[in-house]
Amino acid sequence: MNTNKIPCVAPTPEESFYFDVAPQIIEEKDRIISQLRVELQEFREYISEQRQHTIHRNRILHELTRVVEDIVALYPRFVDNDINCENMALAKGYEHANNIVTYVDKFKNSVRILQCIKRDLQSITIENASYKKSDGGTTMLICCETLSSIIGFKSMDNRVHHPHFYLGNAMNNIIIETLKFGHWKRDGTRGDFVFYQIRDGSKHDGIHYKSNEEHAQIWEWKKTFAKRIINEILIYIEHLLGQLTK
């Protein structure tokens, strides 16, 4: 018996086998390339959206901090007498401005909440200063409803527990807290606190006024800054809604 037989070798593939497989490889590569192109386009669109968001975010921050700077500019003695006080006013004002934008950004992916904030902002009224005679006297007392000219959200039955109370408070703080830094009397003269008669009791804004005339002037400033703040937030919300609904 011959044990030195040549082992069995598998038949050599025909040349047509290569040409049968090659089109499949090319088709798979084309599919992958096509998918990569789609992903690249989506990535470019994402980068573009992020760039646009950054532009709009920087814009509202710039406009809100301009409000702070414009309030500080009303009081030249910031620079003349107390640079630390000026820096403190600017720092706190910038902090309030950033808090507003951060708050809105938390809901940048929710059309429903953004629309809710928009409606609430549009419902805000800017209050005019109002006065009445004191009981048994001729002195005119201030009887505004709020600390600033911003009435607040109309749907705010319980202000503290309103979902957007934080936003309303931050808007007020930009105006009131910055004004307080500038209006503090450094010449030794101090007017009386102006007390506001509101639903939950008398409350003052921490600013000393020498007269109702001085109060009326500052109240006009409050109205102007309140309108600017509300308008800028609405512009930013419109941008965010546009990004979600396009």
pTM for the model stands at: 0.75
Question: Which pLDDT band holds residue 203 (cuts at 50, 70, 90)?
Answer: low
> For residue 70, what pLDDT is reported?
93
d(CA 46, CA 27): 29
For the ranges 71-85, 143-157, 185-199, the lowest mean pLDDT is seen at 185-199
- The pLDDT assigned to 192 comes to 52
pLDDT digit string, tens, across residues 60-80: 999 999 999 999 888 766 554
What are the beta bridge partners of residue 196?
Answer: 203
Predicted confidence (pLDDT) at residue 5 exceeds the cutoff of 90: no
pLDDT at 199 over 50: no
Delimit the domains of the chain by residue range. Answer: 34-245
pLDDT digits (tens, 9 = 90+) for 215-241: 899 999 999 999 999 999 999 999 999
pLDDT over 50 at 198, yes or no: no
